[in-house]
Amino acid sequence: MKLQVKFSLYNAITKIAIIVVLGGIILFSLDNIAFNHFDNRLIKKKNRIIEHLNENEIDSLLNKEQSFTDYNILKEEFIVLTDISDNQKKASAKIITEKREIEGDVEVYRILNYKFSYHTNWYNLEIGESMTALSSIKNTIRFYMLMVLFAALIITLMTDYFFSNYLLKPFYTIIDKKINLVNDPAHYNYDNIPTSTDDFKILDNSINSLMRKISTLFALEKQFIANVSHELLTPISVLSTRFENMLNTPDIPEEHENKIYASLKTLNRLKVIINSLLLISKVENNQYLKTEKISLKQEINDIYEDLEDRISDKNIRYDLSITQDFKFLGNKALIHILLNNLINNAIKYNVAGSFINITGETWHPHYKLTIGDGGVGMDKELLTNAFDRFKRGNTEENGFGLGLAIVQSIAKFHNIEVEIQSEENKGTSISLIF
């Protein structure tokens, strides 16, 4: 999981938790806030009524079973005054919530009961306010509060995501430019990626330091291979010449002659290996030019003419299907070696009576050339190490395991992507994507 995703998930979880807790507190506190507000209003109304109370008001309220304020049409408020019997004469005030029937309609009211004495008489004053409006207001507040919290959550999550993306942009730039896009340490760019984050600066400098060491070791390895290969070719040539001269010796015993032939064969095999390593070394050191115009179809036809006899000997069905010829600039000799190795492998590791299919198609803006066969194929282990040097697809066949290593080096030199698919006893398919 990417660091940016982890940051976003952490921020999302923490913010959701905070908003859920705060939202719960606010929602549960809303009833208390509303009731306190109602109770304060009832107390203020009671105080105003008691303050302006006189005999006429008391008579008016006592002569009616119930009386309403200016909002009596909506039955949102009521005031009731009643006499108190002797056993209830005790000053008190309490607030309750209960249902009351007013003119045939039952409503839930918040009611203030207040017992008081006036001119030696005791009365019970009830002031009520309907809870219907309160429920509507609470629902409205809850809805808008939830909307605000949800909007705040979305905005903060998006802000965190884009900010973390901005914050981590130098990190991904370092990974892409300094690691993923580096094919050759010799072409590595040591310029620092602009960033204000000290951690990324440390990472950038550490990668630069590591690549300097790798580049030095890589150059030494290439130079070593080239030097050793050149040095080995001379004694191999000398030994070959001596063995050939020994074969020209008259009356040489047959036993000695066979041993000399075996030694010459071994020297030739060693010479092929050294030349292959030299080729890889030169390609990786960019010692070739890419200035020739190459026709893929023409190169494949030329290779087929050279290998036609081997294809016929194995009775292999050869099918070339390139509807549109692909032409590009490169090194013609290297491309010929690349294609020759692939087609030669398709013949070597094929079975009698099977097939070789070569297809070419345009994948805008790419061109894909596929060479497939119905041969012995490779198991998963060999497929994983297919491009490693000295790994052979079939140990029973002659070869040094350098064919696909050469293919890979030449392909990288020409910016060609190589894909390989293979299944044991079913065949192999190798695609070149230009």
Angle at 34 (CA atoms; ends 29, 37), nearest 5 degrees? 125
Q: Which residues pair with 384 in a beta bridge?
A: none
Q: Which residue has the higher pLDDT, 234 or 415?
A: 415
In the chain, the amino acid numbered 390 is: F
Cα 401 to Cα 412: distance, rounded to the nearest angstrom = 18
Model confidence band, residue 181 (pLDDT cutoffs 50, 70, 90): confident
Dig out the tokens for 186 from the structure.
Answer: 């010799």
Query: Residues 200-206: what's their mean pLDDT?
Result: 87
Residue 348, sorted as left (phi over 0), alpha (psi -120 to 50) or beta, turns out to be: alpha
The CA distances from residue 45 to 38, 132, 187, in Å, are 11, 19, 87
Dig out the tokens for 375 from the structure.
Answer: 């041969």
Find which of 14-18, 288-292, 293-297 is predicted with most confidence, using mean pLDDT. 293-297
Element (H, E) at 360: strand 355-363
Per-residue model confidence (pLDDT) at position 279: 83
Contact 267, 300 (CB under 8 A): no
What residue segments make up the domains of the chain, in order of their start?
A: 3-136, 198-284, 292-433
Q: What is the CATH number of domain 292-433?
A: 3.30.565.10
Model confidence band, residue 396 (pLDDT cutoffs 50, 70, 90): very low
Is 90 exceeded by the pLDDT of residue 195? no
Cα 280 to Cα 286: distance, rounded to the nearest angstrom = 10
Q: Which residue has the higher pLDDT, 326 or 73?
A: 326
Is 50 exceeded by the pLDDT of residue 380? yes
C-alpha closest to that of 339 among 352, 324, 356: 356
Per-residue model confidence (pLDDT) at position 392: 57
**Considering the chain, what percentage of its residues have pLDDT values greater than 90?**
19
Per-residue model confidence (pLDDT) at position 300: 93
In the chain, the amino acid numbered 84 is: I
SS (H, E, C) 34-101: HHHHHHHHHHHHHHHHHHCCCHHHHHHHHCCCCECCCCCCCCCEEEEEEECCHHHCCCEEEEEEEEEE
C-alpha closest to that of 39 among 124, 134, 122: 134
To the question of pTM greater than 0.75 for the whole model, the response is: no
- Over the stretch 140-149, which tens digit does the pLDDT of each residue have? 777 777 788 7
The strands making up 92-102's β-sheet, listed across from edge to edge, are 77-83, 121-130, 105-118, 92-102
HSE of 219 in the Cβ direction (CA atoms, 13 Å)? 9
Is 70 exceeded by the pLDDT of residue 208? yes
Dig out the tokens for 275 from the structure.
Answer: 């030349």
Model confidence band, residue 401 (pLDDT cutoffs 50, 70, 90): low
- Over the stretch 156-180, which tens digit does the pLDDT of each residue have? 878 877 887 888 888 888 888 888 7
DSSP string, 225-255: HHHHHHHHHHHHHHHHHHHHHHHTSTT--HH
Per-residue model confidence (pLDDT) at position 224: 77
Cα 141 to Cα 134: distance, rounded to the nearest angstrom = 10
Element (H, E) at 148: helix 132-175
- Over the stretch 239-282, which tens digit does the pLDDT of each residue have? 888 888 888 888 888 888 888 888 888 888 888 888 887 888 78
Per-residue model confidence (pLDDT) at position 66: 43
Give the chain's mean pLDDT: 81
Q: Which residue has the higher pLDDT, 306 or 231?
A: 306
Per-residue model confidence (pLDDT) at position 397: 47
Is 70 exceeded by the pLDDT of residue 79? yes
Per-residue model confidence (pLDDT) at position 86: 60
Query: Residues 343-347: what's their mean pLDDT?
Result: 92
CATH topology classification for 198-284: Helix Hairpins (1.10.287)
Contact 345, 368 (CB under 8 A): no
Cα 298 to Cα 317: distance, rounded to the nearest angstrom = 20
DSSP state of 314: T
Q: Which residues contact 369 (CB under 8 A, 6 or more apart)?
A: 296, 322, 326, 358, 359, 360, 431, 432, 434
- Over the stretch 103-114, which tens digit does the pLDDT of each residue have? 677 778 888 888
C-alpha closest to that of 299 among 429, 410, 402: 410
Q: Which residues contact 223 (CB under 8 A, 6 or more apart)?
A: none
Cα 291 to Cα 331: distance, rounded to the nearest angstrom = 6
What are the residue ranges of helices labelled H in 285-366? 296-313, 332-348
Per-residue model confidence (pLDDT) at position 74: 57
Per-residue model confidence (pLDDT) at position 67: 42
Model confidence band, residue 299 (pLDDT cutoffs 50, 70, 90): very high
Query: Residues 222-229: what's their mean pLDDT?
Result: 74
